[in-house]
Amino acid sequence: MKLENQVAVVTGGSGALGGAIALELARGGALVVVGYGRNKAAALRTVKQIKAAGGRAFPLAIQVEKSAAVEKAVAEVLRRFGRIDILVNNAGIVRDKLLMLMSEAEWDEVLNVNLKGIFNCCQAVLKPMIARKSGAIVNVSSVSALRGVEGQANYAAAKAGIAGLTRSLVQEVSRYNIRVNSVAPGLIESELTDSLKSKYLKMIPLGKAGKPAEVARAVVFLASADSSYVQGQTMVVDGGLTA
């Protein structure tokens, strides 16, 4: 139980990847706050699954694109559990469209959730982490930031921004024993990637899409003391797509 007695917050916990990350953190012994934006029912299913396996979990609405909502959510976690040891910034959306056809609203919505949301969440948890002089932040990026994907200019830009944010934050918080890293999943089985499978499967050396649990295990590694000397890195989990 490498994460025993730790409190982990996972944003976007109602999706396939977020749910898998929450489950894996709970298996490691953490008490997991399963954050959700709109799909409360899916978050509750994840919480139920964690509890059925003997873990501890708590659902919490976190609209990551709104700083006041994030601050309120973090205050609620601190009120209930007294600490935040791990933050996994997983919340994300897609609004895929060719750039010349993309509306300003579609650009803004993706950047607000996928990048500004990480800014809001990191800012809110840093004070309690700095006070304790410990913490781990794992940001979920994407291989779209590394190779580009047609129709994902907004998504790729947001995910590429995560790398710069991660490395810059390292320079600010390492002195407080806070580690910041990211993972960049490739084609992972979920409702968001079904339409991409036919195009990208043939490009993946392993010849298959990844499973959410395979990314979740990488997140747990980066969140735990197993990666105590890993700082400011992006771990690519893509079956060789960007090799």
**Residues belonging to the active site:** 155
State which H helix or E strand residue 237 sits in.
strand 234-237
Nearest to 157 by CA among 146, 168, 166, 172: 146
CA–CA distance, 7 with 95 (Å, rounded to integer)? 32
User: How far apart are the C-alpha atoms of 202 and 76, rounded to whole Å?
Assistant: 46
Give the phi and the psi of residue 154 in degrees, each rounded to 5: -65, -45
DSSP 183-233: EEE-SBSSTTTGGGHHHHGGG-TT-SPBPHHHHHHHHHHHHSGGGTT--S-
- For strand 7-10 and strand 31-36, is the pairing parallel, antiparallel, or unpaired? parallel
What one-character-per-residue DSSP string does 29-42 give? T-EEEEEESS-HHH
Name the β-bridge partners of 235.
Answer: 183
